[in-house]
Structure 1
Amino acid sequence: MGRYILGLEGSANKIGVAVVTDEGKILSNVRETYVPPAGHGFLPKQTALHHQKKVVPLVTRALKESDVRPRDLHCIGYTMGPGMGAPLRSVAVAARTLSLLWQVPLVPVNHCVAHIEMGRLVTGSQNPVVLYVSGGNTQVIAYAHKRYRIFGETIDIAVGNCLDRFARVVGLPNNPSPGYNIEQAAKRNGVDHRKMMELPYVVKGMDVSFSGLLSFIETEARKALKDGSFTVEDLCFSLQETVFAMLVEVTERAMAHCGQSDVLVVGGVGCNVRLQEMIQEMATERGGRAFCTDERFCIDNGAMIAWTALLMQRSGRGAIPVERAMCTQRYRTDDVLVDWRDD
């Protein structure tokens, strides 16, 4: 009989629970999202309360869908960090409780590394340069010498945070997500006659910066919408084209530096079809391949935590005593020893 791993993810506004086999088959992958009122972001306390309410029903549902019993579990993986403190603690407490209740080993997982390993699993990409883009993280990553090395990153806010905050300015709703609604607005009725607002383009070597760009477009958007010089659709299109061009530029530079032709896009913003198109065009021009996934695996989910927990267990250093099972808001991608890879 194969081994089954339960994964719990809850670093931001989504709580996910999944059951995965040791062969990488995803038997269940359920998720709930905390959606704040329009015009507001998700706050730690309210998000944590949402996770606390949803975690038990999700665990029950994940086990039922996978037809797996607690005694069949090989280990339980949970998100150690990075992320928002209160939501992380809520899910860590749930994971510790289940570990004690069922006498199942507990494995703390780095959220960022889990995104990468999930992407590698579902796309079959072996050793790509990784563009990791989400609400809380923006990094260009490549594997070398047992670490996922960060070649470039945001020096202020993440690209997803930039998109989310802009969506509030132009009155787009949070359901299903601000970034998704920006994407839909940008391509509404076609883009042939869309007006492009010139925005700050801030690339500093291998790093990017979005805070100044956000401040600029927030100010200009209010003026433009008031005088009618730009529509909401124009502004969404302009923002996407600019920030994605920045990301593609630093990703291509990392690929050239590493001598790689393949690129993998992970993280919630990686669902954006326009970003995928731009990355695909760049990779094709370089004679390489772009690997992208859909919202099932780009967006935070329990399967990525379960799969990475298994990889850590296989390496012989995954499980820890429950009393040492903590979480942290700051947990760098390159802090993790990736000793399950030998390439």
Structure 2
Amino acid sequence: MGFEGSANKLGIGIVKEDGTILSNIRHTYITPPGEGFLPKDTAKHHRSFIIQLVQKSLKESNLTPKDIDCLAYTKGPGMGPPLRSVAVVVRMLSQLWSKPIVAVNHCIAHIEMGRLITGAVDPTVLYVSGGNTQVISYSLKKYRIFGETIDIAVGNCLDRFARVISIPNDPSPGYNIEQLAKKGKQFIELPYVTKGMDVSFSGILSAVESIAKNGFKYDSTDSSKVCTMEDLCYSLQETVFSMLVETAERAMAHCGQTEVLAVGGVGCNERLQRMINEMVEQRNGKSFAIDERYCIDNGAMIAWAGYLIFKNGETTPLSETSTTQRFRTDQVDVTWRD
């Protein structure tokens, strides 16, 4: 049984050792338009719903606590208070049910869930979410980071712009920007910042915020040059996704790989998926993507990653079931891959 609560998504999932997903329930903390989610309020949301989700997950899978072999939880990275709230519940259930615990890296869980669902064997991974942006490839028992954001994550960039233009957070800010972008007709040139294998999104965020707050006038020297909200969403998406695909292609070439796998909440974006697919086809490769059930933070991915660790006889002692806001992808020994 997997427990995910690193941000505003609370998820409980149950998987079998063959990868069959028996349950994957999620409840999202949604704030009003123009507002983000604070750690303390997100933690309160998780505490309010987690027991209900555990019970619902057991009922949906037609299991009892006796059928559960292990409890896996997100150790990090993520927001401190929500992570701790979920970890406390896992420690409680471990003692009530007499079950071992496995601490899981959130980023690794996204990768392994992507590999499980798509069948990708050895892909270059583009991990894009609200809190993380990394280009990753496996080598010598580690998931190596070949490139990453040097300031804010791409999902955070989209979320913060959504707050500026006050679009709804339901079902998610990024999804609503994607729908607006489909109606955009005019491309506005925005800062495009790649530094070697790394990317930067703070400059482009400042630029689009300035345009939006200035009545959607995109040229300070010519007040007649005006765009729409849809144009700006379209231009923002095209620019940040181009930066991501560029760095992913360089990592792919460097590692000699033919597969690309997009994971994380932003990986659900259909435009990003098409851009990746176009790039990979030019290299005679194959791209893989998953839908919102498994792309967005969920409990099943934590359960599956926990199983991969657990099957090698590794567990986390109760005294070491801590959480951390900073837990690098390349800090984990990947013992389950050749």
TM-score bin (small chain): over 0.9
1:17 counterpart residue number: 12
- On the 8 A contact 2:34/2:165 being kept in 1, the answer is no
Q: 1:238 & 1:223 partners in 2: Cα distance?
A: 17
1:5-44 deviations in whole A, cap 9, x for unaligned? x000000000000110000000010000000111010000
Counterpart position of 1:300: 297
Q: Quote the offset at 1:72 in angstroms.
A: 0.9
Does the aligned pair in 2 maintain the 1:203–1:209 contact within 8 Å? Answer: yes
Q: CA deviation at 1:324?
A: 1.7
- Asked if 1:166 is matched to 2:157, the reply is no
- Counterpart for residue 202 of structure 1: 193
The answer to whether residue 326 in structure 2 is matched with residue 335 in structure 1 is: no
TM-superposition CA deviations, 1:109-137 (whole Å, max 9, x none) = 00000000000000000100000000000
Task: State yes or no: 1:128 paired with 2:123.
Answer: yes
Counterparts of residues 307-322 of structure 1 (less than 5 Å): 307-317=304-314, 319-322=315-318
The residue identity in structure 1 corresponding to 2:57 is A
- The CA RMSD measured in Å over matched residues stands at 1.0
User: For each residue in 1:211-242, what CA deviation from the matched residue of structure 2 results, as whole angstroms up to 9, or x when unmatched?
Assistant: 01111111122224377811110000000000
TM-score by length of 2: 0.97
1:216 partnered with 2:207: yes
CA distance in 2, matches of 1:198, 1:263: 27
CA shift for structure 1 position 82: 0.3
Supply the distance in 1 between the matched residues of 2:316 and 2:198 (Cα, whole angstroms): 35
C-alpha contact 1:100 1:322 (8 A) present in aligned 2: no
Query: How far 1:315 moved relative to its partner?
Result: 2.0
Q: For the Cα contact (< 8 Å) 1:156–1:209, is it kept in 2?
A: yes
CA offsets, 1:50-92, max 9 Å, x none? 0000100000000000011101111000000000000000000
Aligned residue for 2:107? 112
Select 1:267's aligned residue among 240, 264, 267.
Answer: 264
Q: Name the residue aligned to 2:220.
A: none
Match of 1:59 among 50, 54, 59: 54
Identity fraction in percent: 64
Contact 1:261 1:286 in 2 (8 A): yes
Match of 2:45 in 1: 50
Offset at residue 316 of structure 1 (A): 2.2
| Inter-partner Cα distance in structure 1 for 2:110 and 2:33 | 28
CA contact (8 A) 1:28 1:65 kept: yes
d(CA) in 2 for partners of 1:150, 1:224: 40
Identify unmatched segments of 5+ residues in structure 1: 1-5
Partner residue in 2 for 1:235: 232
Q: Does 1:142 align with 2:143?
A: no
How many residues were matched structurally?
A: 332
| 2:212 partner amino acid | A
Contact 1:9 1:17 in 2 (8 A): yes
Give, as a single letter, the amino acid of the residue that structure 1 aligns with 2:277: Q
> Given the two structures, how large is their TM-score scaled by the length of structure 1?
0.95
Q: Residue in 1 aligned with 2:79?
A: 84
Residue deviations 1:136-170, cap 9 Å, x none? 00000000000000000000000000000001111
CA distance in 2, matches of 1:336, 1:253: 24
Asked if structure 2 preserves the Cα contact closer than 8 Å seen for 1:80 and 1:109, the reply is yes
